[in-house]
Structure 1
Amino acid sequence: MTRVDIVYGGQQYSLGGRSIESIQAEVDAAVLSGAPYWMRVNSGGGRFEDAFLLIAPGIPFAMLRVKGDNGDDIDLDVDGVFNQDVL
């Protein structure tokens, strides 16, 4: 399982088990819908703590693909606790 870090409002959050491309598609669909959308992400460091980020036009949102020291995506298989929400 891979992890994508998200920078939002100067804070770092993460999503596990998702690709950057799937998150981009979710954010694109949310913005194109014209309606406010709340994305569930992880705010905890070491344990899953829900946070909800408002996705709407004009709100800065950055994603970082987390890589291990060997350049491979980091494996975060933690009993399936990571969010798999999609639009």
Structure 2
Amino acid sequence: MIRVDIVYGGAEYSLGGRSLESIQTEVETAFLAGKPYWLRVNSGGGRFEDAYLLIAPGIPFAILNVKPHNGPDIDLEVDGAFNQDVL
């Protein structure tokens, strides 16, 4: 099952059965419309609990693409993918 996590106001939420791209398109469309938009997400860890996140300018919003763990962890320090100078 596909799951996308969302970080909003320091809390984590999720959307199941949706692709990262479909959520990005929904959020971008809402944002470009110039009106506040309520995105329905799941706030429950063990059971589905509706939550509605306000999508509007000035509100921090992050989408995390959750992938199943199918292989070894990557050491970001070794492969150069993690650049502390950027942080």
Q: If the TM-score is normalised by the length of the shorter chain, which range does it land in?
A: 0.7 to 0.9
Letter in 1 for 2:33: S
The sequence identity of aligned pairs, in percent, is 77
Taking the TM superposition and a 5 Å limit, the aligned residue runs for 1:19-30 are 19-30=19-30
Q: TM-score, normalised by structure 2?
A: 0.78
Show structure 1 runs of 5+ residues with no match: 72-87
Which TM-score applies when normalising by structure 1? Answer: 0.78
Give the unaligned 5+ runs of structure 2. Answer: 72-87
Q: Which residue of 2 aligns with 1:82?
A: none
- Secondary structure of 2:30's partner? helix
Instruction: Write the distance in 2 (CA, Å) between the matches of 1:55 and 1:32.
Output: 11
CA RMSD of aligned residues (A): 0.9
Radius of gyration: which is bigger? 2
Structure 1 residue 47 displacement after superposition: 0.6
Partner Cα separation in structure 2 for residue 34 and residue 68 of structure 1: 35
Shift of 1:50: 0.3
- 1:70 aligned counterpart, secondary structure: coil
